A and B are shown apart, each in its own frame.
Chain A
């Protein structure tokens, strides 16, 4: 392994390599900031230009893009409540309220440092686990993932505290939205009203941009003024404070990193799940869950750390079997083939240096992109003091463009507007939006993993308790669901 690290370091120490990572990081940052066009689009568009390059340089350029998208997506989520990528959506819950309080610099500082250190930790975990990657990937199956996601879903009970009926209604509505479309497990269409448009369900970009961006525009229309009620604090002081916040919330940071790595291991599950699962995991473990969603730095650390820690998890199946852990990794593995590297289980034996090229490329990219982003934030955070009448057209345009760019379908504007109204209504009438979004993001995957588990075990429910890990996860689910009941009981006893 040491030899592979030395080879990869040698390749990184070239001026060309560093310049290519920088260019990749800049491009990734820009693509991350623009809603709807995330890392996958950037990689698809730019992979062909690397065809004639030396393989290591191509990998540095592409990982430069990959590493930067995470932080890029958080910038508009924090400043204008418009997630640049789906994996930054949970950052809206606390990042935007912080910006409204005049703490945009602090929020961006948290985002930059949490995503950088989360990414570093995820990659360190990967390096440590390289000798046992195969065992880990083969150890975790659908029942483990089902129980993990169910634990996330049960957070609706925590998030709904104080307004249980409305919270459960919002969560249930989110789950119903998530199951629209073709069910791959049963091979049938559900709730599509006979139209092929709903075959793949409600597009994630339309749902998230509607719930966050468009509903915020409607709120701005009724409120007026600027996003932040007071003048923003000094940028440097705020950013440094944000960086220190990550060190002050070590437990949140570690829990989120672990969740990010675990979600990364599951092939095909996007960053949005890592983001929300981490957010709800911290909600369950927090001593003051009621402050989450109201500008609590802990919430922002949770979502931003998991975003980037996921990259380490994504690489685990790639290292072990040469299979992609995420959509970005699919494109990257395609680029491997073009550059004469055959992905597969032999990667760990034959191309371990390439794995370290990826790891180093991601690390340097995150460092460059986050520094670049923080430098730009001096100017960007002034957005929150601009009168909303100038901001509204801008937010509407980027939401429309982002929604269309996601899959190039103009009809996606309709669900965008519908969910904008739904989000605005939910806010107006006190239905927690966090429950709605948790239901939507985790509902479909919970259902799929549940049925997969039962099909594999021929319908035996004992599959959910036949390993110690599964028992622990099940106990966690039960405890989480019982929290509101016990808290209510405690209050009743106190009141005599």
Chain B
């Protein structure tokens, strides 16, 4: 065979490979759409915080994905059962779940679980509720500086008291990350039946401070029972215009620390499926009907894409790097 034939043959083979490769790429790049209903796994029972948020965005998700989205409540093991289920689900986009990244990372650090936070594929954020530190209005603390002074003046073994459901839960993990940086040693009173129980404990004088998302305090601030000293949001809240944010107080690294509802998929979820889910999530969150629901229920609905949300995750991961050290420090406050 002469050279021309060889060249033609090689050219034909190259073109065939190119054609096949581009058609495969084209198929991969095509927007994914679900073939059947989507199971949405939540870590709480019906009526729980995350469940209510997801029920608010569900109609929009169904609308933009073109398939019914069915919420499956899997409470148990502090969210562990739901996350285990999601971890073992097929990465075909028909099973997704949601959780708060920081509490997920905290649980991973403190308990034995099969999965790791990094295993899950982040789709996007539904909302974020920024943490605020509140005290009783009957206490002498009017600012963070007052509280820091009081903390420094306390005898060893008697740090400030804060409380909640228990260690390894969202508010305990976030407090462990934030408060030592602000020179606020604390002891955590666990076993409370939720934020309401803790608020009554604070009003009774059993607790010195509270660390929950700001919305938790709204009615108690209005009634003059609680005072918020700061919150972790990026800017001052329109409901609490006098309350400074952490950045103003010199703690920019704590900005954005929040109880977030983040939608995530199982490990190895292909990028085109993730992107399609992300697009639907953002559209659903911004849908006028969802926004009207958000306004009525007073539950924020501020969807973000994975890219927009990435800096918050990176900051949380950086904070979590010191978590083991902080836990040791926490123990030293209890037993000086």
Contacts and interface: CB of A to CB of B under 8 A. Distances in A.
Interface of A: 44, 137-138, 141-142, 182-187, 189, 194, 196-197, 199-200, 267-269, 317, 321-324, 330-331, 334, 337-338, 340, 342-346, 407-409, 448-449, 451-452, 455-456, 458
A256 B141 CA distance: 42
A448 B219 CA distance: 28
Closest 10 CB pairs of A and B: A344-B219, A268-B193, A184-B166, A187-B167, A323-B196, A199-B77, A345-B223, A448-B191, A44-B46, A196-B77
Contacts of B161: 455-456
B78 interface: yes
Q: Which of B158, B207, B219, B225 has the largest number of chain A CB atoms within 10 A?
A: B219
A141 B204 contact: yes
Given A321-B196, A455-B189, A346 B78 contact: no
Contacts, number: 126
18 contacts: A44-B47, A184-B167, A184-B169, A185-B166, A185-B167, A186-B190, A187-B168, A187-B172, A196-B81, A268-B194, A338-B296, A340-B296, A344-B218, A345-B220, A449-B191, A451-B190, A458-B157, A458-B187
Interface string B131-170: 0000000000000000000000000011001000111110
B167 A199 contact: no
B66 interface: no
A400 B199 CA distance: 39
Given A187-B190, A196-B81, A458-B158, A344 B223 contact: yes
Nearest to B219: A344
A407 B76 contact: yes
A226 B110 CA distance: 53
Contacts of A452: 189-192
B269 interface: no
B332 interface: no
Given A345-B222, A345-B223, 14 more contacts: A44-B45, A137-B200, A141-B206, A142-B206, A182-B78, A187-B110, A187-B190, A196-B80, A268-B194, A321-B196, A344-B218, A455-B188, A456-B206, A456-B207
B219 A338 contact: no
Interface of B: 45-47, 52, 73, 75-78, 80-81, 84, 110-113, 157-158, 161, 165-169, 172, 187-194, 196-197, 199-201, 203-204, 206-207, 218-220, 222-223, 225, 296-298
A267 B194 contact: yes
A338 B196 contact: no
A332 to B, nearest CB: 10
Nearest to A342: B219
A324 B166 CA distance: 19
Contacts of A458: 157-158, 187
Contacts of B187: 455, 458
Contacts of A317: 196, 200
A324 B190 contact: no
B197 A267 contact: yes
A330 B298 CA distance: 16
A255 to B, nearest CB: 25
B79 to A, nearest CB: 10
Contacts of B166: 182-185, 187
A322 B111 contact: no
A157 B45 CA distance: 38
B191 A184 contact: yes
